[in-house]
Amino acid sequence: MTGILRLGERTFAPGEFAIMAVVNRTPDSFYDKGRTYGFGAALEAVDAAVAGGADIVDIGGVKAGPGDDVDAAEEIRRVAGLVEAVRDRHPSLLISVDTWRAEVGEVVARAGADLLNDTWGGVDPGLAEVAARHGAGLVCAHAGRVEPRTRPHRIAYADVVGDVVSLTVDLAERAAAAGVARESILIDPAHDFGKNTFHSLEVSRRLDELVATAWPVLVAVSNKDFVGETLGGLPVDRRHAGTIATLAVSALQGARVFRVHDAASARDALTAITRLA
């Protein structure tokens, strides 16, 4: 069992989970196709997530997959003002920003972000230094050592879970050495990032090996391609049941933070799972 997780003013005891709701200020999100790109729409999405039981809102300004180039200045334009507005509107809500850039991390940390969610596996080592300087948490993810926003062709691992454990633990230890509080560091296997469906399924089956490292584990599986492909090629809008099933498997193995598009459903499902387990 992993220990205490501290983010901002919140403390999560061993065995206690947190719901992280996704709000993307991008015009080309794979899930909502730009529905929350507008500033007002993004704020409304945050309000809905809070009403649905989200502990954390994860704000993103760049689509994860390939697409139009978004430089640091544009990413900052999309997310920094939203962070400020959310902090003012929901003072006790934990705010995360999905970025791999230290330049962006610096601005959003000053704007009030509690957590920097580096989904691309430490490509900018300065991001950990930013988190340390501002007392923010950091997510250390396994993206297969690929460039941000790329989908590698025929990527292979001798043991994908072994590689995930090795890289995420190394990144977490580096973050701690840079000054990030150990209880504010999470590791994320990053399903579908630098992985095919078979890799993501293997990580899901063996998530307990990440939990055994004692670093709190974040899982981001909501409506992802591996869920759709596993269920026969279902489109994004039909992956909800598969998402909930994968969350259940992850929770039963000890995951602590769950990044989702539907906070209310995830909250209900995970509450039931923890009471039944």
> What sign does the CA torsion over 189, 195, 201, 206 have?
negative
**Span 161-183, average pLDDT:** 98
Structure tokens at 4: 């205490």
Range of the domain at 109: 19-276
What is the pLDDT, as a whole number, of residue 122?
Answer: 96
**Span 203-225, average pLDDT:** 98
- In this prediction, residue 13 has a pLDDT band, given cuts at 50, 70 and 90, of very high
Nearest to 266 by CA among 52, 30, 13, 35: 52
What is the pLDDT, as a whole number, of residue 270?
Answer: 96
What is the pLDDT, as a whole number, of residue 256?
Answer: 98
52: domain CATH number is 3.20.20.20
- In this prediction, residue 213 has a pLDDT band, given cuts at 50, 70 and 90, of very high
250 assigned to some structural domain? yes
Nearest to 170 by CA among 141, 150, 193, 198: 141
12 assigned to some structural domain? no
Q: What percentage of the chain has pLDDT greater than the value 70? A: 99
**Span 42-62, average pLDDT:** 98
**Span 154-175, average pLDDT:** 97
13 assigned to some structural domain? no
6 assigned to some structural domain? no
105 assigned to some structural domain? yes
Can you name the residues that pair with 57 across neighbouring β-strands? 21, 95
Radius of gyration of the chain (CA): 17
Taking 70 as the threshold, does the pLDDT of residue 165 lie above it?
yes
14 assigned to some structural domain? no
Q: How far apart are CA 255 and CA 247, in angstroms?
A: 9
Higher pLDDT: 277 or 231? It is 231
Low-confidence winner among 1-10, 56-65, 219-228 (lowest mean pLDDT): 1-10
Q: How far apart are CA 189 and CA 248, in angstroms?
A: 16
Low-confidence winner among 90-94, 149-153, 175-179, 194-198 (lowest mean pLDDT): 149-153
C-alpha 47, offset from chain centre = 19
235 assigned to some structural domain? yes
What is the pLDDT, as a whole number, of residue 1?
Answer: 46
Q: What is the pLDDT of residues 109-139, one digit of tens each?
A: 999 999 999 999 999 999 999 999 999 999 9
Q: What is the pLDDT of residues 75-91, one digit of tens each?
A: 999 999 999 999 999 99
Taking 80 as the threshold, does the pLDDT of residue 62 lie above it?
yes
How many C-beta neighbours within 10 Å does residue 233 have?
Answer: 9
125 assigned to some structural domain? yes
- Residue 122: CB partners within 8 Å, gap ≥ 6? 128, 140, 171, 174
Taking 90 as the threshold, does the pLDDT of residue 8 lie above it?
yes
The number of domains in the chain is 1
What is the pLDDT, as a whole number, of residue 152?
Answer: 85
